[in-house]
Homo-oligomer: A and B are copies of this chain.
Amino acid sequence: MAWRHGFQGVGVASDDSDLLEVTALQHQLRQFADVRDWEQFHSPKNLAMALAGEAGELLEIFQWLSETESRELTDDDRARVAEEIADLQIYLLRLADVLRVSLQAAVADKMDQNERKYPVGESKGNATKYSRRGR
């Protein structure tokens, strides 16, 4: 699995850490689409639909489970969720690539925003406010 190691020779920092080599993965995914002539289908509009479709599949795994059950998934369900997570991540990488959005910068900006938007004191344990403001 070349993409684990391939990015400028920099691999995973340690066994305990998880790292996503966004640029390298996007390069691979672009080539994957390119050799199949699938770039034509990968408009941002279509990728957004595909991503939302995968989010729907994720919902279907959880829809009849209680919250408690969702925290204690069977191995089988956990494997299915991992696959949906991968599909979502792949479409997210692809969408960011075709629109030239930096995942890293977008996430950093949003985390900054969220820090300002939800001050610890006001937000603490407040489900209602979270629900109201968390959108």
A residues sitting closer than 8 Å to B (CB atoms) are: 1, 3-4, 7-8, 10, 12-14, 16-26, 28-29, 32, 35-38, 40-41, 43-46, 48-68, 70-71, 73, 78, 81-83, 85-90, 92-93, 95-96, 98-99, 101-104, 106-112, 114-115, 118, 120, 123-125, 127, 130-131, 134-135
A14–B102 Cα distance when bound, in Å, is 13
Number of copies: 4
Inside 8 A of A1's CB, which chain B residues have their CB? 108, 111-112
A35 to chain B, nearest CB (A): 5
A82-B106, A110-B87 given as contacts; is B32 within 8 A of A23 (CB)? Answer: no
- Are A36 and B125 in contact, CB atoms less than 8 angstroms apart? yes
